[in-house]
Amino acid sequence: MSSINWQQAVYDVIKSGGIDLIGYVPDAGHATLINTAKADDAMHDVVMTTEEEGIPLCAGAWLGGMRSLLLMQSSGVGNCVNMLSLQRSARMPMVILVTMRGEYAEFNPWQIPMGSTTQAVLELCGFKVERVESEGEAAETVQAAIDFAFNSNVGVAVLLSQKMLGRKKWVE
Amino acid sequence: MLERRDVVAKLLKDRDNAVVISGLGSPTYDVAAVSPSDRNYYLWGAMGGAAMMGFGLALARADLHVIVITGDGEALMGMGSLATIGANQPGNLSIVVLDNEHYGETGMQQSHLGMGVDLCAVALACGFSQACSVTTEAELTTAASSFHETGITKFLQVKVSPESPPRVMPTRDAVENKITFLQALSADPVSLDTNKT
């Protein structure tokens, strides 16, 4: 399956899961999802200056009856830490898709400290974490995360492994 | 100098069905003191997040006036969100910063806004359709008269006295507040997605 296809499959389950708002800080691994969201008139797409903006964005949307989802890179998880207290204190449903850095074939050592602690940080903050290692399981895992979050009022993060996403291309 | 609770009372007097998100610290006490309602969500933490929470709510409920009432320290911590909101221009969102130029909750340490930083100019530069600084009773009356007219993204920086009126504390239980808020909004004539199974 090409990378375009699994991302389209993920977008399809986002739509069928009733998500009407996607907040994101751009990342190459999320580029197809971001472009698809921007081209979809029925989807609110919000580019944020920092990932932590996404936590109250989702909380506010949910209080108003709208389901939302966040896209960020593993480095951005660290930016969210205190704001995640909003999710936990209020038991808000929340779904975060995280593209991993700092692992498979990483070029930039500065990505390693946050990448190697991303899952533990999320779990310490009370999130349920699923890790996706192959393209074929991506859509199903995201669908399960949406169901889990909105049915059980929990925060769920899906980590998309760097091995699956592929080596970062520095030159197109 | 304007008193913070008078400011909040004047702005929320004719709130009708508007919803309010209050930033942690004094703004939460102010809103609880002068305009208690099940249509309020009181933050006791998540510093820097009040404006974005209002933005999310404004996107979800375009039929409602969503009002964020927060302090200068809280607004400074989420200054990037002014760019995010300005880029999207939600016409039903108003952000009110009660600016006493101090961090009141932690012992009245001076904030950047007492050191020459102009937050209103930041909001204007971020594209808020209306961004104004309110310092006098007359300016407050003018701002309040059109406050609930939607269609433009509003940012009001209101200079207030650095006095701390008695604390009026609403619930600190975020789940309880969530439930009362959702119940209050569920009576509105729109369908709510949150009960979808």
Strand partners, B159: B99
Residue A169 has what pLDDT?
Answer: 66
3 state SS of A116: coil
Which of A16-30, A158-172, B141-155 shows the lowest mean pLDDT across its residues?
Answer: A158-172
User: In the predicted model, what is the mean pLDDT of chain A?
Assistant: 95
**Count of structural domains, chain B:** 1
Residue A168 has what pLDDT?
Answer: 65
Per-residue model confidence as pLDDT tens digits over A62-109: 999 999 999 999 999 999 999 999 999 999 999 999 999 999 999 999
Residue B195 has what pLDDT?
Answer: 46
Average pLDDT over residues B158-168: 96
3-state helix, strand, coil in chain B (%, to 5): 40, 20, 40
Kindly tell me if the per-residue pLDDT of A161 is higher than 50: yes
Average pLDDT over residues B185-189: 88
Q: What is the DSSP letter of B111?
A: P
Tell me the C-alpha to C-alpha distance, in Å, between residue B150 and each of A66, B62, B112, B145, B147. 20, 10, 30, 12, 8
Kindly tell me if the per-residue pLDDT of B154 is higher than 50: yes
Average pLDDT over residues B95-113: 96
Sign of the CA dihedral with B26 first, then B28, B30, and B33 last = negative
Q: How many CA atoms lie within 13 A of A125 on its CB side?
A: 24
Q: What is the DSSP letter of A43?
A: S
Q: Is residue B41 part of a domain?
A: yes
Q: What is the DSSP letter of B78?
A: T
Average pLDDT over residues A13-35: 97
Kindly tell me if the per-residue pLDDT of B159 is higher than 70: yes
Per-residue model confidence as pLDDT tens digits over B10-24: 999 999 999 999 999
Domain ranges of chain A: 3-165
Contact: B193, A67; criterion CB under 8 Å: yes
Average pLDDT over residues B47-75: 98
CATH number of the domain at A3-165, out of 3.40.50.970, 3.30.230.10, 1.10.10.10, 3.40.250.10?
3.40.50.970
Comparing C-alpha atoms, which of B49, B50, B67 is closest to residue B58? Answer: B67
Of B43, B55, B61, nearest to A57 by CB-CB distance is B55
Q: Which domain holds residue B13?
A: 4-185
Which of B57, B126, B188, B191 is the best mutation test for A, with the most CBs of A within 10 A?
B57
Contact: B50, A56; criterion CB under 8 Å: yes
CATH of the domain at B70: 3.40.50.970
Average pLDDT over residues A135-152: 97
Based on the number of CB atoms within 10 Å of its own CB, is A2 exposed (0-12), middle (13-18) or buried (19 or more)?
exposed
Residue B15 has what pLDDT?
Answer: 97
Q: Is residue B196 part of a domain?
A: no
Say yes or no: B106 contacts chain A, CB-CB below 8 A: no
Q: Is residue B178 part of a domain?
A: yes
Contact: A59, B84; criterion CB under 8 Å: no
